[in-house]
Amino acid sequence: MYCAEHLVQLHLPTAADAIAARDARIQVISFADLPRLQGWVPYFRTYFVEPHYAKLNLPVPNDVFARTHFLADPELTAYHAYGLGRNSLLRVYGTRILWQYLRWFIQRKPVRRPNQDTLQRGGNFVINHAGLLTLAHTGRDQTERPSVGAIIAALG
Mean of pLDDT values over 27-46:
91
Q: What are the pLDDT digits (tens) for 73-111?
A: 999 898 889 888 777 766 667 777 778 778 878 887 777
Task: List, in order, residues 6 or more apart from 24 with CB less than 8 Å away.
Answer: 67, 155
Q: 26-30 and 68-72 as β-strands: parallel, antiparallel, unpaired? A: parallel
Mean of pLDDT values over 16-21:
94
Q: In this model, does residue 23 exceed pLDDT 60?
A: yes
Domain residue ranges of the chain, discontinuous segments joined by +: 4-121
pTM, rounded to two decimals = 0.76
Q: How far is CA 38 from CA 30, 42, 92, in A?
A: 11, 8, 24
E strand intervals along the chain: 26-30, 68-72, 124-127, 133-137
Residue 149: phi and psi, rounded to 5, are -60, -40
Nearest to 126, CA basis, from 37, 31, 32, 25: 25
Q: What are the pLDDT digits (tens) for 111-152?
A: 766 666 667 777 889 998 888 899 988 877 777 789 999 999
